Chain A
Amino acid sequence: MNDLDDFRAALRQPPSEPFAEPDLTRIMADGTRIRRRRRVLTTTGGLAAAVVVVLVVVFAVQLRQPSPAPVAQPPAPPSSTSSVPPPTTDGPLPAKPLGEVVGTGISTAAGEVVIFARAVDEPQILPDIHFGLVAGFRSGENLEPVLATNEFRGSDRSFGFHATDGGEVLRDQVIPVFGYFAGQAAKITTTVHGKTVQANLATWTEDPSVVIFWFNTTDVPDSGSLTPLIAYDKSGNRLTK
């Protein structure tokens, strides 16, 4: 036996007293909470068609009713789509895009991966959450939502990162890790396997203080490999710990 064998044996020697068993109940509860942050939309073509219908109807309604003088409005007024009959689907539906749809430039067989904001209206459960993000595919006029996510604690615009999700294969395509930062971030980075990588950024057109970000799938293959995100302002000063 050489020294390396001794060392390996020492590494594998059981501890003097056993480690505490993981708390399975808590693991499942906390894991479930993480899962709840994401809602994977399961319907495909029908859903995409339904969203297009919603967009057309909402647009038509807005044309008939001239918009009032500009006043401060909440980002996701609960009544904004109340005149529209809800599409008939069992799955959770993202509302119409709030603000412009952000193209990521990532091309897939299902179309370009896009990210957009959607209204969240769950005053009983999420009183301070008014919007979330949706990742999906855009092909011509069609917008196919795939993964919807939103903040689920506190306020949707409290300073910092929110709704980070993605980094998984859905509909046979890789959805990049994405999310948003509430604050004036000019650069967002993370570290994957010791390498610092930078996110792509787009300012949300509905609220310029919100920055939507996403990582290239080659840089960040899945959310599990992320370390905490770091935001910097335009002077390069770190905004987050």
Chain B
Amino acid sequence: MARGDDEFADFVRASSTRLTHAAFLLTGDRHQAEDAAQTAFTRTYAAWSRVRHKDAYGYARTVLMNHVIDGWRRPIREYATETMPEGPDRVDVDKAVTQREWLTSVLKTLTDRERAVVVLRHFFDLPEADVARELGVSLGTVKSTNSRALAKLRIEADTEDTLIGGSGR
């Protein structure tokens, strides 16, 4: 094994669950998620000498997001609607299974961009400014997209700016 490979193997072991999980939230499909993570790690390995001492995790996350977003641009995709979905008024979080099923179903009601914002903001815990940078959109767009997504999900978010991330400027 070449120099740095052990380090890379440790990196994959440490971050694969989280990155694959994020890909699953973005795609809603286990196999697509695992393939996306595999691709992200492959490209990260190709650039390992450059990124190993920087933010390797951030690099892998960016590659993953780009890969998934690129997949959305391909012809086979689902088009979400701006119409508010029919769904439960309250989140049932009593049971994990119910929660998972709920999550899977509600994420499908979001547009691609909304899903990307939600995952970066609420799964990766990125500040809104970083989400904007990652997606190449304005801070205002992130704020409005996030609000719209949470509204679709019937989530009360009025306290979010003061509680999370410290970036609700």
Do A and B pair up? The answer is yes
Binding site for B on A (CB under 8 A): 2-4, 6-16, 18-24, 26-28, 30-32, 34-35, 168-169, 191-195, 224-228
Contacts of B163 in A (CB 8 A): 4
Q: Give the docked Cα–Cα distance between A192 and B137 (Å).
A: 10
Residues of B within 8 A of A13 (CB): 96, 99-100, 103
Query: Of the candidates A22, A34, A225, which one forms a contact with B16 in the assembled complex, judged by CB atoms under 8 Å apart?
Result: A22
- Chain B: minimal CB distance from A238 (Å): 13
The answer to whether B42 touches A16, judged by C-beta atoms less than 8 angstroms apart, is: no
Minimum CB–CB distance from A36 to chain B (whole Å) comes to 9
Contact status B135-A193, CB under 8 Å? yes
| Among A3, A11, A27, A34, residue most surrounded by chain B Cβ atoms (within 10 Å) | A27
How many Å lie between the Cα of A20 and that of B167 in the bound state? 35
**B12 near A224 (CB under 8 angstroms)?**
no
A89 to B66, CA, bound (A): 39
Centre residue among A15, A32, A228 by max chain B CB count within 10 A: A15
CA distance A30 to B50 in the complex (A): 17
**B12 to A3, Cβ gap below 8 A?**
no
A27-B41 CB under 8 A given contacts A4-B159, A22-B12: yes
Closest chain A CB from B64 CB (angstroms): 10
Let me know if A224 and B135 touch, CB within 8 A: no
Residue of A nearest to B116 (CB): A194
Q: Does B111 interact with chain A (Cβ within 8 Å)?
A: no
In whole Å, how far is B75's beta carbon from the nearest beta carbon of chain A? 9
Residue in B closest to A37 when the chains form the complex, CB atoms: B46
On whether A34 and B43 interact (CB within 8 A), knowing A7-B122, A19-B33, A225-B62, the answer reads yes
Contact of A19 among B8, B20, B159 (CB under 8 A): B20
How far, in angstroms, from A146 to B50 measured CA to CA in the complex? 16
* A91: min CB distance to chain B, Å: 17
